[in-house]
Amino acid sequence: MMTIRAVSAWTLISLFSGSLALAADSFTPARVPLLPPAPTTIPDGPLGDAIRYGQRIVTDTAGTAKAYVGNALRCASCHLDGGRAAYAAPLAGLTGLFPEYRSRRGSVESLEDRINDCFLRSMNGKALPAQSREMIGLLAYIAWLSRGVPTGSEVEGRGFREIHAPGPADASRGKTIYLAKCAACHGGDGQGVKGDPGKYVFPPLWGSQSFNVGAGMARLSVAAAFVQMKMPLGNAGTLSDQEAYDVAAYFTMQPRPDFGGKTNDWPKGDRPADAR
């Protein structure tokens, strides 16, 4: 996806090399290495406290922001390693990129809006008030993770690594893969596994406690990209692109909460084929 954007920006710039406006519209961020600071380097003092609070929200979302969480997931269920992992939508490097145009919304979105998209969809919950302690903590944590990334630059490994299956995705083959390679952790019924005291050790992939149909992870291409790169945890990279698509076709289409706001998504008519 990034490569496609880079090519089109280059094409526009070379076709209209006199037009600054066009070049700016098709702005392509420079890429820099993903090098988030170590957790031990969070500073002392009030700013450090806010950063640590934001980090706790990412790793224990229900324990810190319960009123806004509607399922058993935590931010780090998908933003692995507390938002430091490449190709698991790292949170590092975002501070200097937002506000950003997003086609799902059809408008320019702030980082607060983007965080709340995940509260509403991935967490099936409620939006954080802009001035809440929770939102300030998340912004402080993301800003700290983004230290050293120049404004307007994008880290390598932002988002997910897009993959393409050689053939159509097959959910019944996917079920066989699920039972063999995923069920041991996520449960035969996809409901995850609870440890004590009631906290999930392995998060649910479907059902009332998982992400809703409006979430990015509910899209076949996004789920396949995440799974091929990051799952099965501990054995990541062992599924072929086809297997990742097959298993994603199986678990994304299992029952999960609806998302009322989905009818307003992609208002400009560029709705992706796998949007729900």
Helix 241-252 to helix 171-181 angle (10° resolution) is 100
Distance CA 182, CA 223 (A): 14
The nearer residue to ligand HEC, 13 or 127, going by C-beta atoms, is 127
The nearer residue to ligand HEC, 84 or 186, going by C-beta atoms, is 186
Cis peptide before 37, with omega less than 30 degrees from 0? no
Distance CA 230, CA 222 (A): 12
The nearer residue to ligand HEC, 9 or 214, going by C-beta atoms, is 214
The nearer residue to ligand HEC, 20 or 184, going by C-beta atoms, is 184
User: Smallest distance, Å, CB 16 to ligand HEC?
Assistant: 28
Distance CA 172, CA 251 (A): 10
Q: Within the chain, where are the H helices?
A: 2-15, 20-25, 45-59, 61-65, 75-78, 80-83, 111-120, 133-145, 171-181, 183-186, 220-230, 241-252
The nearer residue to ligand HEC, 26 or 254, going by C-beta atoms, is 254
Which residues in this chain contact ligand HEC in the complex, by CB under 6 A? 61, 73-80, 89, 91, 94, 114-115, 118-119, 122-123, 138, 158-160, 181-182, 184-186, 202-205, 210-211, 215-217, 222-223, 226-227, 231-234, 239, 247, 251
User: Smallest distance, Å, CB 109 to ligand HEC?
Assistant: 9
The nearer residue to ligand HEC, 43 or 99, going by C-beta atoms, is 99
What is the DSSP code string of 10-78?
HHHHHHTTT-HHHHHHT--PPEE---PPPGGG--SHHHHHHHHHHHHHHHSHHHHHGGG--SS--HHHH
Distance CA 271, CA 118 (A): 19
